[in-house]
Structure 1
C-alpha cells in the first residue's frame, strides 16, 4: 500500500511538471502580449493625437492666412477652410476669432450657430492645447493661438474638433490589436503545449522503459535517449545490475547458511537415534524442531531477498494450474473435485517460486480439510490507489472455522487439529511472505460453507480477458 501511494505521488508529480511548464510559459506569454498590446495602443493614441493636433494647426494657419488679406482693424472673415463640417450646425467642428483684449467674438464658424466656445484663458505666448466641453455637450480637442496684427491689435484664434472621432479611431485600433494578440496568444499557448509534450516525450520513453524492466519485459533500460537523459538511463541500468548482484549474493549466503546449519543438526539427530533413551529422544525432538525453525527463518530471509528483485513478473494461471494438477495426484485417494477460475490474464509482481509457495500452502491446506471440492479463484481488483492488486481465493467445503479460530490459525506453529499432519508453519509463512510483498492474507468463512483463504498481492496492470477453467 505505501508503495502504491508513492507511485501515485510520482505519477502526479510528473503530470504537475508538464502542467507547471505549460502554465508558467502560457502566463508569461499572455502577460507579454498584454503589455505589448497596451504599448501599441498607447503609441497609436499618441500618434493619432499628434495627427489630430496637426490638422487643427492647419486650420488655424488657414484662418490666419485669410484674415491677413485685410487690415489689422478689419481682417477678412475666413471661409469654410475646406471642411464642410464647419458650416453644419452642431457638427462638432468649430472655430472662432475673438478680440484678445475685449473678448468680443469677431468671427465664428456657422457650426456654432450662435453659441460660443468655452475657451480657457491663454497666458503667455505660444499655443494652448486642451480638451473642453462642446456647446451641445461632448468632448472637443482645442487648439488656441494668439495672433498679433500690426499696431498691437491681437486676436485669439480657436479651432476645436470632435474628440469622439479620435477616441473612436483609437478604440477601433485597440479592438483589432486585442483580436490579433488573442489569436496570436492562442497560437503561442498551443505551440507551448506541443513544445512541452514533445520535449517531455523522452522522459515518457524512459519511464516506459523502466516500467518494462520492473515488469520483467526487458532486462535493461533503453539508453538510446537524448544526451541529457542518457546518463540517467546508464545509472539506472547500473542500479538494476547492482540490485540483482546483491540479491544473488544474499541467496548464496542463505543457501550456505542452510547447509552449514542442517549438516550439524543431521549429525545430532543421527547420533541421538543411535543411542536410544529418553535423553536421545528429547535431543532428537528438539533438533527436529530447530531444523523446522531454521528452515522457516531461512525461507523468510530468502523471500525478503527475492522481494527486492527488480523486474520479477510471473504469470498466475500456469502456476495455479500446475499446483492443482500436483495436488490432484497427491490427494487422489480423497477423490477431490478441483475447480480453477482465472479472470483476465493477471501477472504477479514477484518471483514464480514465491507464488508457488503462497498458493501451494493454501491449496494444500484446503485439500486437507475439504470434504469433496476445492475451488481456486484469481483475478485483478483495484486497491483504491489507481493500481491493480492480484486477489487469489482458495475455497473448500470443509467444516470451516469461526472468526476466533481463523485468527488463531494464522499464528506461527499453531495447529487446531493435531490429527492432521503438518508443522503448523504453512499459513504463517503465507502471512509473512504476503506482508513482505506489501499484500495481505485473511481467513474467513465461505458463503457456501467451509473456509475461504483470501490472498492479496501486488500485480502488474494488464488488459482483462475473462478465462474460465474447471
Structure 2
C-alpha cells in the first residue's frame, strides 16, 4: 500500500497541477479579452484620426491627405487597413494598404452606431474590424458614412504566444516552489508518525520497551493505548508462563509417580499392565500437547526479528549429537537473510518438531530452506525417507496421530507446528520432496 506521505504528496501534487492548469487557462482567457479590448480601443483611435483628417473637395468627394495620419495605411499589405462607405454600402474611400485584398469590412451603419468584431475573409483569415457610423454634415447636403479600420491577427497572435510562453514559465517556477514548500510542510507535519514508526521498530528489535516520545494531541491517544497494550501483554505473558510452569509441575510429577508405582507393583505379564501403560502414556501426551498448544497460541508480534539460519543450525547440531549413531547429511539453504517476526521460542518449537521428525524418518539426508516474499516467511523441511501418503498427510496434523506406532514419539509434533503457524495467521502443507521423502512447508504471514 502507498505510504501516507506519498499519498498526501500525490494528492496535493494533483490538486496543484489542476490549479496551475485552470489558472493558466483563466489568465490566458483574461489576457485575450484584455488584448482584444485594447485592440478595439486602438482601432477606434485610428477611426477618429481618419475622421479628423477627412475633407470634402469642391466636387463633393471625400478625400484624405497624403501622407495619411497612420503610415501603415499607406503601405500595401501592412496589416492595417481602412475604408469609408456610404449609406448604400458603396466604397467612398479605401486606404492604399487594402489594394488588391478582400478585407471583410463591415457594411453601412447608422449614425452613432459602433461595432468591434472579429471577422474572416473568404480564405478564412481573421481580422479585427472597428466600424463607426457618422452623419457627415460638411458640404452642400449631409450624408451618412461608415468609417472602418481593420487589422489582421498576426501581431495579436504573436502577443498571445509570447504571453503564453512567459505565463507557462512563471507558473512552472511557482509550481516547483509550491511543491518544495509542500514537501517541507509534509515532512514537518508527518514527523510524529515517523517517530512512532521508529519507536515501534525499536520495540520490535528489543531496544526499548514502550513509546517514550512526546506526541501531538491527535496521536497521544494512540501512543498511550499502545503503551497500555504492551504493558498488559507483558503482564499476561508472564502470568501465562507462570501458570504453565505450575501446571507442568503439578501434572507431570503425579503422572511420573503413577508410572513408577505401576512399574513397581504391576507385573509386566499382568493383563491390566498394558492398559495402564497405554492410559498413562495417553495422559502424558495430552498434557504435553495442551501445554505446548497454550504456549504456542499467543503470537508475539512485537518481538525482535529472529534470524532463521542460526536457529536451524543450532537445532541440527543438537540433533546430530542426540542421534550420533545415525549419520545424516543436513543442509540449511536460505535466500538472503530471512527473519522470523515473532518469539524465538515459537520458531524453535516449529523447527525443532520438524527436524526431529525429519531425523527420525530420513535415510541419510535432511534439508531446511527458508525465504521471504511479499506474503511473509516460508520455511521448508524435507528428508529422503519413505515419505507420507497424500491421504494420510492431513491426519498427521491432528493431535495424537502418528505415522508409525513403532517409532518413539507422542504424535503431537506436527499438531504443535500447526498451532504455532495458526497463531501467526499461517498454514502448514505436507507433500512429496524431490529428495524422495516428506516435505513440510510452514508459512508465517506478517
For residues 30-41 of structure 1, the aligned pairs below 5 Å read: 30-41=17-28
Tell me if the contact between 1:69 and 1:76 (Cα under 8 Å) persists in the aligned partners.
Answer: yes
SS in 2 for 1:22: helix
Q: Deviations over 1:262-294 (max 9, x none)?
A: 455566656767764766875565344223212
Tell me if the contact between 1:26 and 1:189 (Cα under 8 Å) persists in the aligned partners.
Answer: no
**2:96 equivalent in structure 1:** 110
Q: Deviations over 1:315-350 (max 9, x none)?
A: 333333333333333333x25245343434433333
**2:408 equivalent in structure 1:** 421
Aligned in 2, Cα 1:73/1:298: closer, same or farther, shift over 3 Å?
same
Instruction: Report the CA distance between 1:231 and its aligned residue.
Output: 5.0
**2:180 equivalent in structure 1:** 191
Task: Report which stretch shifted further, 266-275 or 316-325.
Answer: 266-275
2:320 corresponds to which of 325, 328, 340: 328
**1:379 equivalent in structure 2:** 370
Separation in 2 of the partners of 1:426 and 1:97?
A: 109
Aligned in 2, Cα 1:340/1:214: closer, same or farther, shift over 3 Å?
same
**1:463 equivalent in structure 2:** none
Instruction: Report the CA distance between 1:233 and its aligned residue.
Output: 3.5
Aligned in 2, Cα 1:376/1:149: closer, same or farther, shift over 3 Å?
same
TM-score (norm 2): 0.78
Aligned in 2, Cα 1:61/1:363: closer, same or farther, shift over 3 Å?
closer
Separation in 1 of the partners of 2:422 and 2:32?
A: 74
TM-score (norm 1): 0.75
Aligned in 2, Cα 1:86/1:121: closer, same or farther, shift over 3 Å?
same
Separation in 2 of the partners of 1:193 and 1:19?
A: 12
Q: Deviations over 1:235-260 (max 9, x none)?
A: 32332222222222222333344444
2:41 corresponds to which of 54, 70, 75: 54
SS in 1 for 2:16: helix
**1:233 equivalent in structure 2:** 223
1:357 corresponds to which of 324, 329, 349: 349
Tell me if the contact between 1:358 and 1:433 (Cα under 8 Å) persists in the aligned partners.
Answer: yes
2:169 corresponds to which of 160, 180, 183: 180
RMSD, aligned α-carbons? 4.1
Separation in 2 of the partners of 1:362 and 1:114?
A: 101
Tell me if the contact between 2:105 and 2:148 (Cα under 8 Å) persists in the aligned partners.
Answer: no
Tell me if the contact between 2:308 and 2:338 (Cα under 8 Å) persists in the aligned partners.
Answer: yes
Separation in 2 of the partners of 1:137 and 1:436?
A: 78
**1:291 equivalent in structure 2:** 284
**2:143 equivalent in structure 1:** 154
Separation in 2 of the partners of 1:189 and 1:295?
A: 65
**1:434 equivalent in structure 2:** 421
For residues 56-455 of structure 1, the aligned pairs below 5 Å read: 56-67=43-54, 77-89=64-76, 91-100=78-87, 105-113=91-99, 118-132=105-119, 138=125, 139-149=127-137, 153-165=142-154, 167-180=156-169, 183-184=172-173, 187=176, 190-191=179-180, 194-195=183-184, 198=187, 199-200=189-190, 202-214=192-204, 216=206, 218-221=208-211, 223=213, 228-229=218-219, 231-262=221-252, 265=255, 276=266, 282=275, 285-305=278-298, 307-332=299-324, 334-343=325-334, 344-371=336-363, 373-382=364-373, 386-396=374-384, 398-404=385-391, 406=393, 409-449=396-436, 451-455=437-441
Aligned in 2, Cα 1:423/1:60: closer, same or farther, shift over 3 Å?
closer
SS in 2 for 1:321: helix
Tell me if the contact between 1:88 and 1:111 (Cα under 8 Å) persists in the aligned partners.
Answer: yes
- Between the two proteins, the alignment pairs up a number of residues equal to 438
Q: Deviations over 1:393-452 (max 9, x none)?
A: 2525x5555445555554432344443333333333333333333444455555444x34
Instruction: Report the CA distance between 1:41 and its aligned residue.
Output: 2.7
Tell me if the contact between 1:247 and 1:308 (Cα under 8 Å) persists in the aligned partners.
Answer: no
Separation in 1 of the partners of 2:440 and 2:151?
A: 88
Separation in 2 of the partners of 1:291 and 1:271?
A: 15
Tell me if the contact between 1:72 and 1:149 (Cα under 8 Å) persists in the aligned partners.
Answer: no
Tell me if the contact between 1:393 and 1:455 (Cα under 8 Å) persists in the aligned partners.
Answer: yes
Tell me if the contact between 1:375 and 1:394 (Cα under 8 Å) persists in the aligned partners.
Answer: yes
Q: Deviations over 1:347-404 (max 9, x none)?
A: 3333233333333333333444445x3434243243xxx14424242525x5555445
Relative contact order (C-alpha < 8 Å, sep 6+): which is higher? Answer: 1
Tell me if the contact between 2:82 and 2:95 (Cα under 8 Å) persists in the aligned partners.
Answer: yes
**1:6 equivalent in structure 2:** none
Separation in 1 of the partners of 2:258 and 2:100?
A: 135
